Amino acid sequence: MSETLENLSSETRQFPPPEALAADANVKADAYEAANADRLAFWAEQADRLTWAKKWDQVLDWSNPPFAKWFIGGELNIAYNCVDRHVEAGQGEKVAIHWEGEPGDTRTITYAELLTLVSQAANTLTDLGITAGDRVAIYMPMIPEAAVAMLACARVGATHSVVFGGFSVDALSTRIKDADAKLVITADGGYRRGKPSALKPTVDEAVAQCPSIENVLVVRRTGQDVAWTDKDKWWHETVEQASPEHKAQPFDSEHPLFILYTSGTTGKPKGILHTTGGYLTQASYTQWAVFDLKPETDVYWCTADIGWVTGHSYIVYGPLSNGATQVMYEGTPDTPGRDRFWQIVDKYKVSILYTAPTLIRTMMKWGDDIPAGYDLSSLRILGSVGEPINPEAWMWYRENIGRERTPIVDTWWQTETGSMMISPLPGVTATKPGSAMTPLPGISADVVDDTAQSVPNGGGGFLVLRDPWPSMLRTIWGDDKRFIDTYWSRFGAGAESSSAGASSDWIYFAGDGAKKDEDGALWLLGRVDDVMLISGHNISTTEVESALVSHPSVAESAVVGATDPTTGQAIVAFVIPRGNVDTEGEAGEKLNVDLRNHVAKTLGPIAKPRQIMLVPELPKTRSGKIMRRLLKDVAENRSLGDVTTLQDSAVMDLISKGMGGSKSED
Ligand code: 6R9
């Protein structure tokens, strides 16, 4: 018997690209043809968008799968590509970063100034004994120095490991130890939710447990009191005093650029390793192609944190390698008010906005009138990343932010893929609300059943990637075996049951469920670990959540399968109502019944939730992904598992308290 995912929902709305945008788009339909005709030649052409100190001899070496090498023999410096070459091309006065601090302080950094900062930081790293191949941990708020620190590491060939500025002592020290880092770059603190939030005390505690750390470089941002040891150096007393002259040396295309840890659901975090030439090729190309980036005129803003892969690829390496002008914002979207994002878009005339479904759904909850008060006419492209975007959230984004003019690009990718893999092209694709549509040119994604057979259109299963791609992870830091087990042993030549075949038979397992609709467009259905088994049917959490969000009273929802004596598992839904919805007493009970019926009507009786809880918030990771595992604990009356990556630990108390009734306190 082959196991597939049910395909319950259908979507008929479709939005072709605006004509003027399509006519002037950076990438047109012929890119798919070119990549299909010769995939390696296509990627070589994209690699040529970069400046190489030495040209590669071979595009791809896949002779030792699953360990890929791209642009073998080539040499380049990433920081040179992101900074120096724009200054050399006469763009020194162009703004690289419009930085907006949460309290309202601002900085404008041109490419020439960025070059000075990165050169000074590179000289300081060298003074502190950092050489090519050393690991540097970065634990910082969203300030320009975070990007400068990453670029300075890249410039001297040190491998950076950025750790979210919200993570605990334990999370930070585990990551420092795993990578055996020599230096930490941090700050006294940053501003979040209207207050300074300290970082240095966490670093102090972590460093006390990590003998490999020789120095700690500290940016002064908040002016908070800090404890000081002889390992600590102020940024302004070192970097800002250093020589602004620094000549970037080229590194091998496969030189390690960064490690970024993903937590996963079990076990210790995986250090995902990315290297130089292939990574920058795809990050840079996708930034330009998927956002139709026109560096001369666009103002781009990605709302992610640099502690997330989105911040690496689409705040630092993608935009800067293209010479873009971008906005960088330090704080939260509701400080000082819930209109902060739209104020920023209006102030800087942002033309390309890249954000996450969690934020879109939060904005829906806060109400349409907030963005309605702002001039958002500068926007021309909207992006989404991080989770499946529910069709109704997509429509809300299109109508209330894009004002029905701007294409939306829903971009599927992972820390492991390094850059975007499945996404519409804004000048080519007629988009469907909620679908990431098709693999980008040069990428081969597919949906397969449990025997690795491609499912037909209309079918659901597992998302896989069939051919190596330039920005793919190279391994898990220090653990090749886990790399093979996690990503390559489920299907194809890497699977235990198969006799290792040709190198082209290796199949990458992404860990996500997906389906193909009748036209072959791809719909992402969430992590396969979250799939529910209801009376013998595999049902994705995403489809039920999207059905709930399509009800006018719902802003956001999370669905889990809880053990059930009759159906094996039963659907328990946690729902955040929209801002103005009455959930008191009878109104709340009626809403509850309505919602269960609404799901049954939209997807069929099999998907009808057993229980719906109205809650004020949902547990999320720092990058905004819903932590269904914790909700499952609540639904099955267990004590909570690991909560270390939870963004706001008070949320679970609120939800557990609410389990008795069905009221929302918001
Ligand atoms: C970039 C990033 C990766 C996981 C991925 C998937 C989910 C990301 C998505 C999406 C549906 C999208 N995901 N983008 N699901 N549609 N457009 O988020 O990396 O933090 O490693 O997470 O996020 O489940 O497997 P990362």
Is the pLDDT reported for residue 106 higher than 80?
yes
Protein residues with CB under 6 Å of any ligand 1 atom: 262, 308-310, 385-388, 410-415, 436, 510-512, 524, 527, 623
- Using omega within 30 degrees of 0 as the cis cutoff, is the peptide bond preceding 66 cis? yes
Cα(225) to ligand 1 centroid in Å equals 38
Cα(625) to ligand 1 centroid in Å equals 9
In tens, the pLDDT along 318-348 reads 999 999 999 999 999 999 999 999 999 999 9
527 Cα nearest atom in ligand 1: 24
Which sign does the torsion angle of CA 589, 594, 597, 599 carry? negative
Q: Which of 538, 522, 521 is nearest to 530 (CA)?
A: 538
70, 254 contact by CB (below 8 A):
yes
Is the pLDDT reported for residue 213 higher than 50?
yes
Is the pLDDT reported for residue 666 higher than 90?
no
Distance (Å, whole) CA 68 – CA 470: 9
Distance (Å, whole) CA 278 – CA 285: 11
Q: According to the model, what pLDDT value does residue 98 have?
A: 98
Q: How many CB atoms lie within 10 A of CB 27?
A: 19
Is the pLDDT reported for residue 645 higher than 70?
no
Distance (Å, whole) CA 598 – CA 605: 10
Q: Which of 257, 263, 226 is nearest to 474 (CA)?
A: 257
Residues with Cβ < 8 Å from 440, sequence gap 6 or more?
A: 286, 289, 290, 420, 421, 422, 423, 425
The structural domains of the chain, ordered by start, are 19-426+436-446 (3.40.50.12780), 539-666 (3.30.300.30)
Q: Are strands 135-139 and 75-76 parallel, antiparallel or unpaired?
A: unpaired
> What spatial distance separates the first Cα and last Cα of the chain, rounded to whole Å?
46
Residue 607 is classified by DSSP as G
Q: Is 98 helix (H, G, I), strand (E, B) or coil?
A: strand
Q: 230, exposed or middle or buried, with CB in 10 Å at 0-12, 13-18, 19+?
A: exposed
Q: Count of alpha carbons within 13 Å of 615, Cβ hemisphere only? A: 27
Cα(414) to ligand 1 centroid in Å equals 5
In tens, the pLDDT along 240-264 reads 999 999 999 999 999 999 999 997 6
Which residue's CA lies nearest to atom 3 of ligand 1? 414
Residue 9 is classified by DSSP as -
The edge-to-edge listing of strands for the beta sheet with 408-410 is: 106-110, 95-100, 325-329, 299-302, 352-355, 381-384, 408-410
Q: According to the model, what pLDDT value does residue 504 have?
A: 75
In tens, the pLDDT along 350-385 reads 999 999 999 999 999 999 999 999 999 999 999 999
Q: According to the model, what pLDDT value does residue 665 have?
A: 26
- Using omega within 30 degrees of 0 as the cis cutoff, is the peptide bond preceding 336 cis? yes
Is the pLDDT reported for residue 662 higher than 50?
no
Residues with Cβ < 8 Å from 337, sequence gap 6 or more?
A: none
Supply φ then ψ for residue 380, to 5 degrees. -130, -15
Alpha-carbon separation of residue 274 from 106, 211, 475, 485 (angstroms): 32, 25, 8, 18
In the chain, DSSP finds a helix count (H) and a strand count (E) of 22, 30
Cα(628) to ligand 1 centroid in Å equals 15
Distance (Å, whole) CA 542 – CA 6: 11
Which residue's CA lies nearest to atom 10 of ligand 1? 387
Most confident of 42-46, 564-568, 611-615: 42-46
In tens, the pLDDT along 70-104 reads 999 999 999 999 999 999 999 999 999 999 999 99
Q: Which two tokens stand for residue 534?
A: 């209801």
Is the pLDDT reported for residue 26 higher than 90?
yes
Distance (Å, whole) CA 222 – CA 189: 6
Q: pTM score, two decimals?
A: 0.94
Query: How much is the average pLDDT of 292-305?
Result: 98
Hey, which of 412, 431, 435, 629 would you mutate to test ligand 1's pocket, going by the most ligand atoms within 8 Å of its Cβ? 412
Query: How much is the average pLDDT of 216-226?
Result: 98
Average pLDDT, the chain: 94
